[in-house]
Amino acid sequence: MQSTALTHTSTAMPVDAAILETAGFIARQLAHGAWITLQITLLAELLVLVLSFVIALMRLSPFRALRWFATVYVEVLRGISALVLLFYLFFILPLFGIRLSPMTTGVLGLGLTFSAYGAEIIRSALINVSQGQRDAVRALDFGPISAFRRIILPQALPFMIPPMGNQLVELLKTTSLVSLITLTDLTFTGSQLITTLGQQTLIWSIVLVCYFVMAWPLSWLVRRYEQHATAWRTTRG
């Protein structure tokens, strides 16, 4: 009886060790993929913010050439598939001697795509600043930069941040496209693990949960800010 129990224990231990080793391997690989996804999201969002503000201000510029350029920029990028743009940057530009790394391609492609939408969000928010505030700027004789920084922008932020926050969540989820240009993000890592281990249901379920865990805090923060922004707009009348 005792020898039988020892035999069962000795045969079970290698199995348990193998399971733990596999679980640890999956966890490490997916954690690395999630970190790459977060890096792409952060870098692309920084590019989105810079380009969105620049293009939005150009759209509102008194100079016709700047307005024309910004309008073409927005319309063209909103009309192009993000995936096709990534493919073009990664596969076509090298034919002209321009080679971008997968990370640079992912950040640039997603940044350009989402900046077109971000520019319209910011432009609409700036337009929503009341005429009374604009009249106050002229009455107080503020310079253009000082007026924008101290009066226009603070008034526009409550209209701007909620939709930009929602766009950030969409950007996070859209980063899965970079897996198609060999960037080892969360989706690419999950696909590689399935090729190696074959645990399709398990691995895709974990990947699904990982995206939710990364996106949910952002969604929650956006909802909280939107509630405060709504209350602020109601108070302002």
Please give the share of the chain, as a percent, with pLDDT higher than 90: 63
pLDDT value of position 18: 78
Residue 107 near residue 49 (C-beta atoms within 8 A): no
Residue 172: CB atoms within 10 Å? 21
The rounded mean pLDDT for the chain is 87
Q: Is the pLDDT of residue 63 over 50?
A: yes
Superfamily of domain 26-236: MetI-like (1.10.3720.10)
Q: Count the Cβ atoms, other than its own, within 10 Å of residue 180.
A: 15
Q: What is the pLDDT of residue 236?
A: 60
C-alpha distances in Å from residue 83, one per residue of 34, 49, 176: 20, 21, 10
**Confidence band, pLDDT 50/70/90 cuts, at residue 8:** very low
Do residues 132 and 68 make contact, with C-beta atoms less than 8 angstroms apart? no
Q: Is the dihedral of CA 73, 79, 181, 170 positive or negative?
A: positive
pLDDT confidence bin for 1, thresholds 50/70/90: very low
3-state secondary structure string across 177-225: HHHHHCCCCHHHHHHHHHHHHCCHHHHHHHHHHHHHHHHHHHHHHHHHH
Q: Give domain limits for the chain.
A: 26-236
